[in-house]
Amino acid sequence: MRAEIISIGTEILIGAITNTNARYLAGKLAENAIDSYYQVTVGDNVGRLVETLETAAARTDIIITSGGLGPTEDDITLEALLRFLQKPAVLHQPTLRYIQKRLRLAGYKMSKLALRQCYVPKGSIVFQNFNGAAPGILSHIQRAGKKIWVLVLPGPPRELEPMFNTQALPALLSQAKIKREHFVVRSLKIAGFTETQVAERVPAFLKSKPPLTVGIYARPDLVTLKVMAKAGSQKKARQMADRTEKQIRKKLGSSIFGIDDETLSSAVGKILANRKKTLAVAESCSGGLLGSLITDTPGSSAYFLGGIIAYHNKVKTAELAVPAILLKKHGAVSEPVAEAMVQECRKRFASDYGISITGIAGPDGGTLTKPVGLVCMAIASDTGIFVKKMILRGNRHEIKTRAAHRALNALRLQLLQKAL
């Protein structure tokens, strides 16, 4: 089975928005072992959309469109679809009732424009839009003796994604009689290594071919290895993924901080919560970003007490008792100052652990001996203080981001050591 993704919208053609739907749908197709040779983007033009549908029908089994289902004049997907399918439109009563109810709740009356969204090609399977108005549509057409499936989805990602995942994909797989292969996809999240360093440690895995593949993806201070195992049963696929994960862990050890949706923040949080330990932070150049990352994890109030943002040097002295002489002698971005910051922070908040960050985020403020990107950080606990100095790459925001992630990872590694 082969599918083609058609994205509809002039806003994509003029570069006003990034086409994230195509990536989402492509990823889902790949997970379900449905090949895809082409993706096409076309504007809000009936003639060109019909032509694009015809071209796709000649070379694919499944066509998936997104966008152009809104209530306004430039939403032309339904019109093109009717022309392509050569089917009449019928009023879909459940959609009519659903849209009427939505409008009533918002205090509006049914309008002629909203009524347009209640029509679907005769004989369609219709998916209710729980996050918007326009329904999804699954229909089909015969071409050269072959049945071509056409799945039509709304454009906004928050409408498209849940509709595709929970309604449209299961319906498509069952209607088109696609043997659902069993897949396990597992992301191993890695901190402390660059993409190249990870690749050098697992070269054979990166070359492996289906039914087991391993892909590598990098972001500032996060590398992900994505294991995809395919088998005749869920159990077998899981066993393959488990075996691969175990082998990769042997190569990468504790640099793997979690799987799938885990973040450095949640990984650190899990350990702290389990051990009923608390954390406080003292931030200079990161300006609050470390605290913000920590509190992005739900339930962080169980272990995160708070922190001091000591941006100005006088705040470092007044709030974090950093001696003025220390600032003068070593400068604000120095190991002794990072150490003084974390010590007072931990004392003030009476926390089990403390993290401090001080650095030069740029673009100005760098010198020959202290360049932009220089960051000093310290981790403190009752067993001592660990201080580290490093030079980080990137623009101001990237330096802040890398610094906060490095600090979280340093704490995580300390916590792991203590577990031994």
Q: Which of residues 205-244 bind a copy of itself (CB under 8 A)?
A: 215, 217, 226
- Residue located via tokens 């999240």: 189
What is the CB neighbour count within 10 angstroms for residue 257? 22
Q: Please identify which residue in 173, 305, 321, 385 interacts with a copy of itself, judged by CB under 8 A.
A: 305
User: Which residues 377-416 are close enough to bind a copy of itself by CB under 8 A?
Assistant: 396-397, 400
Q: How far is the CB of 309 from a copy of itself (least distance, A)?
A: 4
| Amino acid code (one letter) for 117 | Q
Q: Please identify which residue in 184, 308, 355, 378 interacts with a copy of itself, judged by CB under 8 A.
A: 308
Beta strands in 67-153 (DSSP E): 89-91, 119-121, 125-127, 136-143, 146-153
CA-CA distance, 354 to 20, in Å (whole number)? 39
CA-CA distance, 211 to 365, in Å (whole number)? 52
Q: Quick one: which segment of 101-109, 179-187, 291-299, 377-385 binds a copy of itself (CB under 8 A)?
A: 291-299
Q: How far is the CB of 123 from a copy of itself (least distance, A)?
A: 30
**Shorter beta-carbon distance to a copy of itself: residue 22 or 148:** 22
User: Which residues 7-36 are close enough to bind a copy of itself by CB under 8 A?
Assistant: 7, 12-20, 22-30, 36
Q: How far is the CB of 100 from a copy of itself (least distance, A)?
A: 20
Instruction: Let me know: does 162 contact 73? Beta carbons within 8 Å.
Output: no
Q: How far is the CB of 329 from a copy of itself (least distance, A)?
A: 20
Q: How far is the CB of 69 from a copy of itself (least distance, A)?
A: 18
Q: How far is the CB of 4 from a copy of itself (least distance, A)?
A: 10
**What tokens were used for 127?**
């998916």
Q: How far is the CB of 126 from a copy of itself (least distance, A)?
A: 26
Measuring CA to CA, how many Å separate 267 from each of 47, 171, 342?
A: 52, 37, 21
How many Cα atoms sit within 13 Å of 382 on the Cβ side? 6
Peptide bond between residue 298 and the one before it cis (omega within 30 degrees of 0): no
Q: How far is the CB of 18 from a copy of itself (least distance, A)?
A: 5
User: Which residues 120-179 are close enough to bind a copy of itself by CB under 8 A?
Assistant: none
Instruction: Let me know: does 303 contact 279? Beta carbons within 8 Å.
Output: yes
User: In this structure, are strands 182-190 and 256-259 parallel, antiparallel, or unpaired?
Assistant: antiparallel
Number of residues that bind a copy of itself (CB under 8 A): 74
**What tokens were used for 361?**
């985020």
Q: How far is the CB of 10 from a copy of itself (least distance, A)?
A: 9
User: Which residues 322-381 are close enough to bind a copy of itself by CB under 8 A?
Assistant: 348-349, 361-365
Measuring CA to CA, how many Å separate 214 from each of 225, 239, 258, 261, 262?
A: 6, 15, 16, 17, 19
User: Which residues 39-68 are close enough to bind a copy of itself by CB under 8 A?
Assistant: 39-43, 45, 48, 52, 55
CA-CA distance, 314 to 344, in Å (whole number)? 15
Q: Quick one: which segment of 103-111, 136-144, 307-315, 412-420 binds a copy of itself (CB under 8 A)?
A: 307-315
Among 388, 376, 185, 381, smallest CA distance to 284 is for 376
Instruction: Let me know: does 398 contact 220? Beta carbons within 8 Å.
Output: yes
Q: Please identify which residue in 234, 292, 367, 417 interacts with a copy of itself, judged by CB under 8 A.
A: 292
- Residue located via tokens 């089909």: 140
**Shorter beta-carbon distance to a copy of itself: residue 104 or 158:** 158
Q: Please identify which residue in 38, 91, 234, 324 interacts with a copy of itself, judged by CB under 8 A.
A: 38
Q: Please identify which residue in 68, 70, 269, 291 interacts with a copy of itself, judged by CB under 8 A.
A: 291
CA-CA distance, 131 to 156, in Å (whole number)? 9
Q: Please identify which residue in 271, 309, 326, 385 interacts with a copy of itself, judged by CB under 8 A.
A: 309
**Shorter beta-carbon distance to a copy of itself: residue 23 or 104:** 23
Q: Is 294 in the site for a copy of itself (CB under 8 A)?
A: yes
